[in-house]
Structure 1
Amino acid sequence: MNGGGFFERVRKEIGRRRRMSARLLIASSVITVLGFSAVCGSIMLDMRGNAQELARQTQENLASTISADINRNIEAYDLSLRSVVSNLALPQLAHVDETLRRLILFDHASIARHFGSIQVFDAQGNLTIDSATLTPEKLNRGDEPFVSAHRDDPTVGLYISRPMQHRGTFAIVLSRRISGTDGRFLGVVAGSIRFSYFKQVFSRLRLEPDDTIGVVARDGTLVMRTPFRPDVIGTNVMGAPGVRQVFSQRRGWYSGEGIIDQIPRMMVWADGTRPLVVIVGKSWSDVFRMWRHEAIRISLILLGLAIIVAGFTVFFIREIDRRAEAERRLEELATTDSLTGLINRRKFDTLIEREWRRALRMNTPIALLIIDADHFKAFNDGYGHQAGDQVLVGIALCIGDSVQRAGDCAARFGGEEFAVLLPGGSATAAQGVAETIRNKVAHWSVGQGDVTVSIGVASMTPAPGQHWPVLFEAADKALYAAKDLGRNCCVVAASRHDLTLAA
C-alpha cells in the first residue's frame, strides 16, 4: 500500500469499527425497547386478567345478592302455600264457620305489599277460597297453566307460571297441588308476586347503561329483565348461546351477546339450582374500561420511551461518527509526514515488521527500495528551503504515482530520504518500480533544478531466525553503491554482499 492506500485502509478500519459500534448501539436500543415492551405487555395482560376477574367477582356477588332476595321471598311464599295445603287436609275444617276457617287456613300466610292474595281453586278451576275476602268472586281458572299443570302431573311441586296478567296486574303465579288421601286431584292453592317487587329490587341498584339483569325460570322463561322491556318478558331464552350451561353448573360465567341489543357481555350467575336464576350481564367495554385507560397510558409512556431511546441512539451514533473522524485525523497526523503526505518512519517500521512476518509465514519474497535525492543539500543551499520542500513534494508525487498495488507502501524517512516496501516483490519487479520512479523524477525535474534520485533495491524471502533489518541493511548498502557509481541510478542487492548495477 502506498501512502494513499494506507490511509484508505485506515479509513476503512475506522469505518468498520464505527459501523460495528453503531450496530451494537442500535441493537442495544432495540433490545431495550423490546424488553420494556415485553415487561409492559406482561403487566398489561395481568391487569386485563385482573380486571376480568374483578368484574366476574363483582357481578357474581351482585347476582348472589339479588338471587338470595328473590328466592328467599319465593320460599317464604311457598311456605304459605304449603301451610294452606296442609290446613285444608284437617277434617275439623268442614265444621267451622267461614271466618274461623280463613284464620286457620291463612294463619302462616305471608303478607307483603308486592304479594297477591292466596286463593284456593277446586278440581274444575273454580275459585272457592280467597284470603283477601270472605266472599270470593265467581271465577274459573281451569284453563290456566298453573291449574292444568298440577292436574296433568302430580309431581310438579311448586309451579311458577310465565309472566301474566293476574288480578289486574302483571305478575308471576306460584301454585301448589291439593291432593286427596287417595292421590286424586282436588285443586290448587295459588298466589302471585307482582312485578312491582322486581322493579323495587332493581331500583336499589346503581347500574351502567349497558348492564342487564335477567331473572330466568328453570324452563328458560325470561321472568323479568332490567332495563325493562315488556316485549321480551315471558319469551324463552333457552336457545340463546350459553343459557343452557346456567342450569348445568351451580355458578359460572359465559361471554354472550344481548338478545335485544347484541352487545357483547360477560354473563354471570351465582346459583343455577334455584327456582329463579339471576343472570347479571356487564358489557365487555365496561369491564375493560379502566384497564383500557391504563393500557393507553402505559402505551404512551412506552412510546415516549422509544422516542427518547431513538433520540439518544441517533445522538450517540453522531457522536461515534465524530469520534471516528477525529480518530482518523489523529491517525493521519500521527503517521503522516506533513510535507509530502506519505506515511512517516514510525508507521513504516510497524508495517515492515508486519509484512516481514507475513512473508515468513507464507514463504514469499519481500522487496524494499530506499530512495535518496542527489545533491539535495547543495540544491537546498542554492535555491532555498522553500524550493527544496517543493522538490521533496515532487519526488513524493512521483513515488506515489509509481507505486500502484494496494499492498505497497511508500514512506518518507526524513530529510531527502524515502522508502518503498513491496510485499511479494521479486528483485526484478522491484528494480522495475525503482526505474520507473527514477525516470519520473528525472523527467519531472527538467527545468526545476534537474534533481535526480539514487535508489537501492533489495529483495529476499525471509528465513527463520532472520529479521527485517537484514533487508533494510541490504537496500541501504545498495543505495550507497548507487551513490558511489555516480548517482541517478538504481542498484539491486542480489544478496547482502552481492550488489548489481541497474542503470
Structure 2
Amino acid sequence: MRFGWRKEVAGRPWRLSAKLLIISSVATVIGFSAICVNVMLDMRRGEEALARQMLENLASGVDSDINRNIELYDLSLRAAASNMILPEIKELSKPILHLILFDRAATARHFGALQVFDAGGRLTIDASTLDPRPENRGDEEYFRVHRDSPDTGLFISKPMLHRGAYAIVLSRRITGEDGSFLGVVAGSIRFSYFHDLFGRLSLGADDTITVLRRDRTIIMRRPFDLDIIGKNLADRASWNPANMNSGSYAGAGPVDPIPRLYVRHNGTGPLNVVVGKPLDSILSLWRTEAIRIAAIVAALIVFVLGVTLFLAREIGRRAEAEDKLEELATTDALTGLTNRRKFDASIDAEWRRATRQKTPVALLMIDADHFKAYNDTFGHQAGDEVLIGIAICISDSLRRAGDCGARYGGEEFAVLLPAFSAEEALDVAENIRLKVQQWSEHTSISIGVASMTPDVTQEWSELVGAADKALYAAKAGGRNRCVVATVPQLSLVA
C-alpha cells in the first residue's frame, strides 16, 4: 500500500543528483584550476628567484673584480701621496724617485700611469716618463674637488677623454703635515678594462651591466652607448632609486623601456654594479610551460563540463520519465484523479502530520447513486461519462494544494481535506453534490463526511470507517445528500 509513496520520494533524488553533479563538477573544476594557477605562480616565482640569484652572483662577481682592482690601484695612489710629503723626496734623482713613488700597478694593463700635480695643477711627475711634458689640470673636476674638500679621499671622476683614451680618473689629495694642499696624485682606468671584463661573460643580447658611481652617475654600461656614459640617473622619473636600495627592481629601466629584473650588489666599494635581464627572457620557459599546462587544463575542463552536462541531461530525462511513470502509476486512467494506491499514501502521510501537529483531518466518501442500474440501462460508456463528470466536479471544488481527490474504487470516490473541521468539510461536500446535480439532472451522489483529530493510538482506517458509515447512512436516508459522522460515536444527522 505504501510502495507508491516511497516511489515518489525516491524519484526526487534524481533531480537533486543532477544539480549535485553539476555543482560538484564546477567545484572540482574551480578547485583544480586554482591548484594549477597556484602551481604556475609558484613556478613563476621559482624562475624569478633563480634568475635573481643568478644575477646576484653575476653582480657580485663583477663588483668584486672592479672594486678589487680599484682597491689595488688606490694603494698605489695612497703610497704616492704619502711619499710625496717626505722631506728627503726633493733630494732624490728622478729614477730613484720613480721607484719610490710608483709600483707595478701603475703600468698594469688597462691602467694609466700615475701622475703627480702640484698645488697649481701643473704636472710635475709622470710614471710613464722621466721628462713629462708641460701639462696643467687645474681646471679638471677631480683637481678642484681635492683642492676644495680636504676630506674627499679617493675620488673617481666621471667618464672622460683622458690622455687620448676614454677612462675614469682615480685621484687622491696630497696633504702637507700642516694640512695644506700640496697637489693631487691621479691615475686612470681605461674603458678597455670594462670591455674586456664584460666580454668574458656569457650574456644575452638585451642583458645589461651598469657600473654606477655613488651619486648614480653611469661609469660604464653594457651594451655600450657613449651617449649615456657619464649621465646621472638620480633625476630620472622612470628610475626608482628607492627600489634599487632593496637589492632588486622589476620594471622599465632608466635607459630603455624594456622591462627587466635589475639586481644591485650592495658592496662597500666606491662603485656599484647593477645587472639587468629582460623579464621576457626570464619567463620565456615558464610562459611556454604555462601555456601548455593551461591548454591541457582547459581541454580537461571542457571535457569534464561536457560530460557533466551530458550526464545531467540524461539524469533529467530519466527523472522526467520516472515522473511520468509515477504519474501514470498514481493516477486513475479514466477520471484523472489520484488512484487508490496514491490516496492511501497521502492519507497515511497526512494522518502522521496531523498526529504530530494536533490538527484535524477530514474525509469525504462519495458514491454515485443508482450507478449500477444506470450503467446497465445506458451502457458502460455512458457510465464512464458519469464517473468522469463526477471527477470534474470534485476537482473543481478543491482549492488547496494539500487537498486530495481520488477514485476509491468503482463508482466510489474519496476526498482528503487536511486541517478541516467537520463543518468545513460539510461545506465542501455540499458544493460537490450541488455541482453534480447541476451538471446532470439524472445523476446524483451521496457523501459521508468525517473529521478527526488523531492521537498516537489511532489509525487512519478509523477515519475511513467513520466516513464510510456516514456514506451508508446518507444512502439509507434517501440518497443525494451529505451526512456527517460524529466521532467516536456515529450519531448521524442529515
| TM-score interval (norm. to shorter) | 0.7 to 0.9
Find the counterpart in structure 2 of residue 326 from structure 1: 321
Answering whether residue 467 of structure 2 is matched by residue 475 of structure 1, we say: yes
- 1:26-71 Cα offsets, whole Å, 9 max, x none, are 5434433443344344334433433333332222211111111112
Find the counterpart in structure 2 of residue 52 from structure 1: 48
| C-alpha separation in 2, matches of 1:480 and 1:324 | 43
For 1:132, which of 128, 138, 143 is the aligned residue? 128
Find the counterpart in structure 2 of residue 64 from structure 1: 60
Find the counterpart in structure 1 of residue 211 from structure 2: 215
Please give the secondary structure, in 1, of the residue aligned with 2:42.
Answer: helix
Report the CA distance shift for 1:352/1:105 in structure 2 as closer, same or farther (over 3 A). closer
The one-letter code sitting in structure 2 at the alignment partner of 1:476 is D
Answering whether residue 415 of structure 2 is matched by residue 420 of structure 1, we say: yes
Answering whether residue 136 of structure 2 is matched by residue 145 of structure 1, we say: no
Please give the secondary structure, in 2, of the residue aligned with 1:368.
Answer: strand
The one-letter code sitting in structure 1 at the alignment partner of 2:469 is K
Identity percentage over the alignment? 55
Report the CA distance shift for 1:192/1:325 in structure 2 as closer, same or farther (over 3 A). same
Answering whether residue 451 of structure 2 is matched by residue 455 of structure 1, we say: no
| C-alpha separation in 2, matches of 1:385 and 1:36 | 66
| C-alpha separation in 2, matches of 1:497 and 1:243 | 102
Contact (CA 8 Å) 1:356, 1:366: kept in 2 or not?
no
Aligned runs of 1:158-197 on 2, under 5 Å? 158-179=154-175, 184-197=180-193
Report the CA distance shift for 1:68/1:388 in structure 2 as closer, same or farther (over 3 A). same
| C-alpha separation in 1, matches of 2:421 and 2:114 | 127
Find the counterpart in structure 1 of residue 341 from structure 2: 346
In the alignment, structure 2 segments of 5+ residues that lack a partner are none
| C-alpha separation in 2, matches of 1:410 and 1:435 | 15
Contact (CA 8 Å) 1:430, 1:457: kept in 2 or not?
no
For 1:335, which of 327, 330, 334 is the aligned residue? 330
The one-letter code sitting in structure 2 at the alignment partner of 1:396 is A
Answering whether residue 91 of structure 2 is matched by residue 76 of structure 1, we say: no
Residue 482 of structure 1: CA displacement?
Answer: 4.8
Residue 371 of structure 1: CA displacement?
Answer: 0.9
Please give the secondary structure, in 2, of the residue aligned with 1:138.
Answer: coil
Contact (CA 8 Å) 1:52, 1:287: kept in 2 or not?
yes
| C-alpha separation in 2, matches of 1:161 and 1:216 | 11
Contact (CA 8 Å) 1:454, 1:483: kept in 2 or not?
no
Find the counterpart in structure 2 of residue 3 from structure 1: none
| C-alpha separation in 2, matches of 1:168 and 1:444 | 126
Report the CA distance shift for 1:119/1:394 in structure 2 as closer, same or farther (over 3 A). same
Please give the secondary structure, in 1, of the residue aligned with 2:132.
Answer: coil
In the alignment, structure 1 segments of 5+ residues that lack a partner are 1-5
Report the CA distance shift for 1:218/1:350 in structure 2 as closer, same or farther (over 3 A). closer
Contact (CA 8 Å) 1:411, 1:419: kept in 2 or not?
yes
Residue 274 of structure 1: CA displacement?
Answer: 0.4
| C-alpha separation in 1, matches of 2:176 and 2:396 | 131
- 1:372-415 Cα offsets, whole Å, 9 max, x none, are 45252x66566665555455444434443454554432222223
Find the counterpart in structure 2 of residue 490 from structure 1: 481
Report the CA distance shift for 1:359/1:145 in structure 2 as closer, same or farther (over 3 A). closer
The one-letter code sitting in structure 2 at the alignment partner of 1:269 is R
| C-alpha separation in 1, matches of 2:153 and 2:424 | 119
Please give the secondary structure, in 1, of the residue aligned with 2:229.
Answer: coil
Contact (CA 8 Å) 2:363, 2:451: kept in 1 or not?
yes
Range that drifts further, 74-83 or 166-175: 74-83
| C-alpha separation in 1, matches of 2:162 and 2:13 | 92
Report the CA distance shift for 1:244/1:222 in structure 2 as closer, same or farther (over 3 A). farther
The one-letter code sitting in structure 2 at the alignment partner of 1:492 is V
Answering whether residue 195 of structure 2 is matched by residue 199 of structure 1, we say: yes
The one-letter code sitting in structure 1 at the alignment partner of 2:461 is P
| C-alpha separation in 1, matches of 2:141 and 2:312 | 85
For 1:315, which of 301, 310, 315 is the aligned residue? 310
- 1:65-110 Cα offsets, whole Å, 9 max, x none, are 1111112222222233344456656777666655555455445344
- 1:266-289 Cα offsets, whole Å, 9 max, x none, are 432213420222122344554544
| C-alpha separation in 2, matches of 1:499 and 1:284 | 97
TM-score, scaled to structure 1:
0.79
| C-alpha separation in 1, matches of 2:240 and 2:422 | 96
Aligned runs of 1:356-375 on 2, under 5 Å? 356-358=351-353, 361-364=357-360, 366-372=362-368, 374-375=370-371
| C-alpha separation in 1, matches of 2:480 and 2:409 | 21
TM-score, scaled to structure 2:
0.80
| C-alpha separation in 1, matches of 2:421 and 2:156 | 115
Please give the secondary structure, in 1, of the residue aligned with 2:464.
Answer: helix
Find the counterpart in structure 2 of residue 235 from structure 1: 231
| C-alpha separation in 2, matches of 1:149 and 1:87 | 21
| C-alpha separation in 2, matches of 1:358 and 1:150 | 105
Report the CA distance shift for 1:414/1:75 in structure 2 as closer, same or farther (over 3 A). same
| C-alpha separation in 2, matches of 1:333 and 1:233 | 92
Please give the secondary structure, in 2, of the residue aligned with 1:137.
Answer: coil
| C-alpha separation in 1, matches of 2:436 and 2:242 | 105
Contact (CA 8 Å) 2:359, 2:419: kept in 1 or not?
no
Please give the secondary structure, in 2, of the residue aligned with 1:140.
Answer: coil
| C-alpha separation in 2, matches of 1:403 and 1:175 | 111
Contact (CA 8 Å) 2:210, 2:273: kept in 1 or not?
yes
Find the counterpart in structure 1 of residue 253 from structure 2: 258
* Aligned residue-pair number: 484
Residue 198 of structure 1: CA displacement?
Answer: 1.3
Report the CA distance shift for 1:499/1:83 in structure 2 as closer, same or farther (over 3 A). closer
